[in-house]
C-alpha cells in the first residue's frame, strides 16, 4: 500500500506536460472563440475587430472590451437560416442515433452470443473500418450511389426501377453515410455491455417461464442500458456537428449547423459569426457532453 | 427481436452479423476493385489495369500532399503517444490529485467534440499568436486530438495491469521512475504501439481540422481528396484511396502483430 502511494507522487508529475498542452491547445482556444464571437466583422487581417494589443497597455485593452457586443448572437436569433440549421442538426442527430441503435443492437447482440474464440475476430472486424479513412468510406458510397453507379445498375438490371434513381444529394444518402460511418461507435459499447452479462440470468428467466421476448425485454435489454446510453452519446454528439457527410451526400437546400459554421468561415469569411455559431453548437452539446463525461468517469472508476 | 438464450446462435443472430459486416465492408471492396478498372468511365468495367496508379505517381500536387500528410501523421502521432502515455499514467497511477476532474474532462471531451469546433478554435488561437500556418499548426492540432485517443488506449491497459508488479519492484529497491521504466513500460508497450498506430491513422484521415489549421500551399492529402470528391468520382481518386487503405492495413497488421509479440513476452515475464 505504501509503495502504491510512493508511486502516486511521480505519476502525478506526469500530468504536467499533457495538462499544459491541453490547456494551451484545447481550453484557451475556446476563450478565443468566445471573444471573437463578440467582435465585429472587419475587412482586415485578421478579419475581426477589436484586435487585442497587449503592448498598448491597460487603457487600450479596456477600450477593446467596450467594443465587444452581442450583435452576432442577435443576428443568429433573427435569421431563420441559423435557427433552421440548429433544428435540422438536432433532428438529423436524433434520427441517425435511433437508426444506429436499431441496426447496431442486433449486431452487437449476435456478437455477444458468438463462441468465445469468434468474438475477438468479430470485434476486430467491427473495429477495422473505424481505422480506415472516414473520407474514403464516404467516397466509396458516392461511387455506389451516383447516377450510373452500381446501385442503379443493379436496380435496373433486376427491373426494380425503370429509370435511374437520384440517390446523391438526398437526405437518404446522408442518413446512409452517417449510419455507415458511425456504426462501429454504436456496436462497440453495446457489445461491451452485452458481453459482460452473465448468460445464467437469461437462462434463469426462461427456466422461470419467461418467453424469449419477455426475457429480452425484462432482463437483457435493461441490463444493457449503460451500453445503449454510451453508444447513443458517442454517436449523437459528433453527428450534431457533422460537416463532411452532409456536405458530400445531402442536398444543398438545407444545412446542418456544422455546414453553416463552415460556410460563414470559409465562404463568407465572417469569423465573428462563425465563432458565434460555434458557441451555439457548444451550448447544444453541454448536456450530452456532461452526461458522457459522467458515464466515462464512472466506468473508469469501476475499472480502477 | 427474438432472443433465444438456449441456442446461442439463432438464425436471426447469424444473419444480423453477416448483414452488419457486409454493410461495413462491401462499399470498400467495391471501391478497391474499381480502382483497377481500365475504363475512364468509373462505372463501366474495362478490364484490369494499373493506369490510375501510374497517373497518381505522376501527379506532383497529389504526391506533395501525400508527403505532407505522412510527415504530419508521423510527427503528431509520436508527440501524441508521448503526451498520451504521460496523461494515462497520471490518471491511472496518480490516485487523486487537484484538478483531476478538469484534467480528465479536457482529455475525454475532444474524443467526441465536433471537429468544426476544434478546428475553428485552434485556428483562432494560431491567428492570435501570429503563428505561420502550415506543417506545424496542423501537426499541433492533430496532436491535440489524437493524444486523447492514445490516453484512452493506454489507460485501459494500465487499469488491467497487476499493480503488485510495480510494488514488488519498489520493495526490491527500485525508485518509482525505475520501476515504471523497467516494469510498467514493457508491460504496456503493446498499448503504446497500438496508440501510436491509431493516432497515425486518425491524422492521416482528418479533413476538417486540417482545413482550418493549414495555410496556403500546404494542403494535406485528405484536403486534396476532399476537393476532388466534391467535383465527382474520378478513377484516380479510387487509386489514391486504395493506396491509403493499403497503408492503413499494413499499419493495423503491424500493430496487431506487435501487440501479440510483446504481450506474449509480457505474460511470460509475469507468471502471477
Partner-chain residue, chosen from A143, A275, A278, that has the shortest CB–CB distance to B42: A143
The answer as to whether A132 is a domain residue is yes
Smallest CA–CA separation between A282 and chain B, in Å?
8
pLDDT value at residue A89: 93
Contact indicator for A108, A183 with CB cutoff of 8 Å: no
**Cβ of residue B181 closer than 8 Å to a chain A Cβ:** no
Interchain contact, B43 vs A150, CB within 8 Å:
yes
DSSP for chain A?
-HHHHHHHHHHHHTTHHHHHHHIIIIIHHHHHHHHHHTSEE-SSSSSEEPPP-GGGHHHHHHHHHHH--SHHHHHHHH-HHHHHHHHHHHHHHHHHHHHHHHHHHHHHHHHHHS-HHHHHHHHHHHHHHHHS-HHHHHHHHHHHHSTTSHHHHHHHHTTS-SS----TTSHHHHHHHHHHHHHHHHHHHHHHHHHHS-HHHHHHHHHTT--HHHHIIIIIHHHTHHHHHHHHHHHHHHHHT--HHHHHHS-SSS--HHHHHHIIIIIS--HHHHHHHHHHHHHHHHHHHHHHHHHHHHHHHHH-
List alpha helices for B161-234, DSSP H: 164-171, 176-179, 185-205, 208-213, 221-231
In this structure, the number of other CB atoms found within 10 A of the CB of residue A1 comes to 5
pLDDT value at residue B266: 46
Contact indicator for A258, A246 with CB cutoff of 8 Å: yes
Backbone dihedral angles phi then psi of residue A299, each to the nearest 5 degrees: -65, -45
Contact indicator for B186, B266 with CB cutoff of 8 Å: yes
Partner-chain residue, chosen from A15, A144, A212, that has the shortest CB–CB distance to B4: A212
Considering its fold, how many domains does chain A have in total? 1
The predicted-structure confidence for A234-285, as pLDDT tens digits, reads as follows 899 999 989 999 999 987 778 899 999 999 898 888 888 899 999 999 888 8
Pick the more confident residue, B224 or B263. Answer: B224
Pick the more confident residue, B38 or A227. Answer: A227
The predicted-structure confidence for B80-135, as pLDDT tens digits, reads as follows 999 999 999 888 887 777 778 888 888 888 888 889 999 999 999 998 888 888 89
CATH number of the domain at A236, please: 1.10.3720.10
pLDDT value at residue B272: 25
Q: Report the alpha-carbon distance of residue B188 to residue B192 in Å, rounded.
A: 6
pLDDT value at residue B267: 43
- Over residues A155-179, the mean pLDDT reads 88
The answer as to whether A59 is a domain residue is no
ipTM above 0.85, yes or no: no
Bridge partners (DSSP) of residue A49 are A40
| pLDDT-above-70 percentage for chain B | 90
Contact indicator for B141, B210 with CB cutoff of 8 Å: yes
Q: Report the alpha-carbon distance of residue B216 to residue B134 in Å, rounded.
A: 8
Q: Which whole-number Å values give the CA distances from A2 to A6, A240, A304, B172, in the listed order?
A: 6, 47, 17, 13
Q: Scan for cell 437508426, then name that residue.
A: A99
- pLDDT category at A64 given cuts 50, 70, 90 is low
The separation between the first and the last C-alpha atoms of chain A, rounded to the nearest angstrom, is: 15
**Cβ of residue B184 closer than 8 Å to a chain A Cβ:** no
Q: Report the alpha-carbon distance of residue A4 to residue A27 in Å, rounded.
A: 32
Helix axes B100-112, A225-240, angle to 10 degrees: 70
- pLDDT category at B257 given cuts 50, 70, 90 is confident
Which domains occur in chain B, in start order? 13-38+45-49 (no CATH), 56-269 (1.10.3720.10)
**Cβ of residue B139 closer than 8 Å to a chain A Cβ:** no
Those of residues 162-221 in A touching chain B at CB distance below 8 A are 180, 183-184, 187, 199, 202-203, 205-206, 212-213, 215-216, 220
Smallest CA–CA separation between B4 and chain A, in Å?
6
- pLDDT category at A5 given cuts 50, 70, 90 is low
pLDDT value at residue A51: 64
Summary mean pLDDT of chain A: 84
The answer as to whether A34 is a domain residue is no
The answer as to whether A26 is a domain residue is no
The answer as to whether A39 is a domain residue is no
List alpha helices for B206-234, DSSP H: 208-213, 221-231
Interface test with B, best of A115, A132, A201, A223 (most B CBs within 10 A): A132
Q: Report the alpha-carbon distance of residue A144 to residue A124 in Å, rounded.
A: 25
Where residue A279 falls (left for φ over 0; alpha for ψ -120 to 50; beta otherwise) is alpha
pLDDT value at residue A240: 92
Interchain contact, A143 vs B179, CB within 8 Å:
no
Q: What is the span of the domain harbouring residue A183?
A: 70-303
pLDDT value at residue B58: 86
The answer as to whether A136 is a domain residue is yes
- pLDDT category at B166 given cuts 50, 70, 90 is confident
Compute chain A's Rg from CA coordinates. 25
Query: Kind and range of the H or E element at B110?
Result: helix B100-112
Interchain contact, B120 vs A274, CB within 8 Å:
yes
pLDDT value at residue B4: 44
Interface test with A, best of B4, B9, B16, B92 (most A CBs within 10 A): B16
Q: Scan for cell 471573444, then name that residue.
A: A35
- pLDDT category at B263 given cuts 50, 70, 90 is low
- pLDDT category at B190 given cuts 50, 70, 90 is confident
Kindly report each contact of residues B168-177 with a partner whose C-beta sits within 8 Å and lies 24 or more positions away, as own/partner.
B170/A3, B170/A6, B170/A7, B171/A3, B176/A6, B176/A7, B176/A9, B176/A10, B176/A11, B177/A10
pLDDT value at residue A117: 81
pLDDT exceeds cutoff 60 at A98: yes
Smallest CA–CA separation between B176 and chain A, in Å?
5
- pLDDT category at B2 given cuts 50, 70, 90 is very low
pLDDT value at residue B121: 93
pLDDT exceeds cutoff 90 at B209: yes
- Over residues A34-46, the mean pLDDT reads 77
The answer as to whether A10 is a domain residue is no
Q: Report the alpha-carbon distance of residue A267 to residue A47 in Å, rounded.
A: 13
The answer as to whether A272 is a domain residue is yes
pLDDT exceeds cutoff 50 at A61: yes
Interchain contact, A137 vs B13, CB within 8 Å:
no
Q: What is the pTM for the complete model shown?
A: 0.85
Q: Scan for cell 475587430, then name that residue.
A: A49
Amino acid at each position: 500500500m505504501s509503495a502504491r502511494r510512493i508511486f502516486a507522487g511521480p505519476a502525478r508529475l506526469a500530468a504536467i506536460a499533457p495538462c499544459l498542452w491541453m490547456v494551451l491547445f484545447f481550453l484557451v482556444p475556446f476563450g478565443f472563440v468566445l471573444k471573437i464571437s463578440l467582435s465585429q466583422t472587419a475587412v482586415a487581417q485578421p478579419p475581426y475587430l477589436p484586435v487585442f494589443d497587449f503592448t498598448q497597455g491597460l487603457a487600450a485593452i479596456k477600450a477593446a472590451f467596450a467594443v465587444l457586443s452581442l450583435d452576432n448572437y442577435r443576428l443568429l436569433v433573427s435569421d431563420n437560416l441559423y435557427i433552421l440549421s440548429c433544428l435540422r442538426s438536432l433532428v438529423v442527430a436524433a434520427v441517425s442515433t435511433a437508426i444506429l441503435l436499431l441496426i447496431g443492437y442486433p449486431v452487437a447482440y449476435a456478437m455477444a452470443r458468438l463462441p468465445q474464440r469468434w468474438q475477438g475476430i468479430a470485434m476486430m472486424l467491427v473495429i477495422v473500418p473505424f481505422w480506415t479513412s472516414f473520407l474514403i468510406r464516404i467516397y466509396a458510397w458516392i461511387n455506389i450511389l451516383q447516377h450510373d453507379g452500381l446501385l442503379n445498375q443493379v436496380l435496373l438490371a433486376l427491373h426494380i426501377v425503370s429509370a435511374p434513381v437520384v440517390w446523391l444529394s438526398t437526405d437518404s444518402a446522408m442518413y446512409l453515410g452517417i449510419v455507415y460511418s458511425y456504426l462501429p461507435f454504436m456496436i462497440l459499447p453495446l457489445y461491451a455491455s452485452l458481453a459482460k452479462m452473465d448468460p445464467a440470468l437469461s437462462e434463469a428467466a426462461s427456466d422461470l417461464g419467461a418467453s424469449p421476448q419477455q426475457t429480452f425485454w425484462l432482463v437483457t435489454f435493461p441490463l444493457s442500458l449503460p451500453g445503449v446510453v454510451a453508444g447513443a452519446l458517442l454517436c449523437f454528439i459528433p453527428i450534431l456537428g457533422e460537416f463532411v457527410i452532409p456536405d458530400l451526400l445531402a442536398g444543398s437546400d438545407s444545412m446542418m449547423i456544422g455546414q453553416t459554421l463552415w460556410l460563414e468561415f470559409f465562404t463568407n469569411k465572417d469569423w465573428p459569426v462563425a465563432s458565434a455559431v460555434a458557441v451555439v453548437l457548444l451550448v447544444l452539446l453541454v448536456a450530452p457532453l456532461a452526461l458522457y463525461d459522467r458515464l466515462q468517469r464512472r466506468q473508469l472508476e469501476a475499472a480502477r | 427481436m427474438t432472443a433465444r438464450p438456449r441456442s446461442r446462435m439463432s438464425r436471426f443472430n447469424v444473419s444480423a452479423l453477416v448483414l452488419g459486416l457486409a454493410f461495413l465492408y462491401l462499399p470498400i471492396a467495391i471501391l478497391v476493385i474499381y480502382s483497377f478498372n481500365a475504363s475512364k468511365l468509373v462505372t463501366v468495367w474495362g478490364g484490369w489495369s494499373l493506369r490510375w496508379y501510374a497517373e497518381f505517381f505522376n501527379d506532383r500536387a497529389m504526391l506533395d500532399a501525400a508527403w505532407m500528410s505522412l510527415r504530419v501523421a508521423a510527427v503528431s502521432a509520436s508527440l501524441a503517444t508521448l503526451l498520451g502515455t504521460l496523461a494515462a499514467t497520471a490518471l491511472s497511477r496518480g490516485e487523486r490529485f487537484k484538478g483531476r476532474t478538469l484534467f480528465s474532462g479536457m482529455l475525454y471531451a475532444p474524443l467526441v467534440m465536433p471537429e468544426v469546433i476544434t478546428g475553428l478554435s485552434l485556428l483562432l488561437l494560431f491567428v492570435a499568436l501570429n503563428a505561420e500556418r502550415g506543417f506545424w499548426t496542423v501537426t499541433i492540432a492533430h496532436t491535440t486530438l489524437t493524444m486523447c485517443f492514445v490516453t484512452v488506449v493506454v489507460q485501459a491497459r494500465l487499469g488491467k495491469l497487476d499493480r503488485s508488479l510495480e510494488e514488488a519492484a519498489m520493495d526490491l529497491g527500485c525508485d518509482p521512475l525505475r520501476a515504471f521504466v523497467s516494469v510498467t513500460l514493457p508491460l504496456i508497450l503493446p498499448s503504446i504501439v497500438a496508440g501510436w498506430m491509431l493516432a497515425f491513422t486518425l491524422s492521416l484521415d482528418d479533413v476538417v481540422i486540417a482545413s482550418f489549421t493549414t495555410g496556403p500551399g500546404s494542403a494535406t492529402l485528405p484536403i486534396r481528396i476532399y476537393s476532388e470528391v466534391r467535383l465527382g468520382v474520378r478513377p484516380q481518386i479510387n487509386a489514391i484511396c486504395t493506396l491509403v487503405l493499403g497503408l492503413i492495413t499494413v499499419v493495423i497488421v503491424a500493430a496487431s502483430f506487435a501487440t501479440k509479440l510483446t504481450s506474449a513476452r509480457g505474460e511470460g515475464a509475469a507468471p502471477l
